[in-house]
Structure 1
Amino acid sequence: MNELDRIIKDLSESIEDDQKYMKEEFETVRNYCIERKFKLSEDEMRTIKSIGLESWIEEWRNDYEEV
């Protein structure tokens, strides 16, 4: 279990509302990627893919590089 897995697990245990959880999960993963400057391990990428957010990586990276 990588750090991102732990963060998502803690998040899922603390938020019961599905809509709120999905929004928080999205923001949490985006912020995690930004904090790591998109230098993610294969395991972290598998985690992101497993929750269906891999298609957002390029957009987030482009936004990050524009700043």
Structure 2
Amino acid sequence: MPVLKDMGVEKVYLAFDADLVENQKVRKALIDFATELKRVGYNVIIAAWNPTQGKGLDDTMQAGFKPVFQRL
């Protein structure tokens, strides 16, 4: 992730599609990526929402809902 360091990034927001609730591969990808980002020193914030509000963050926000942000 040298490009993030080169850009001076300190905080990373992750917003995986809501199917991570049902899809173990998607959930594992989120956990692995977030863990690695945290390990190398980034502040990691995960956006979460109720899957009934939309599959993706864009769907959720377009429907008028807001995600909840959780710091890892």
TM-score, length basis structure 1 = 0.31
Q: Which has the higher helix share?
A: 1
The higher radius of gyration belongs to 2
Q: Which has the higher strand share?
A: 2
TM-score, length basis structure 2 = 0.30
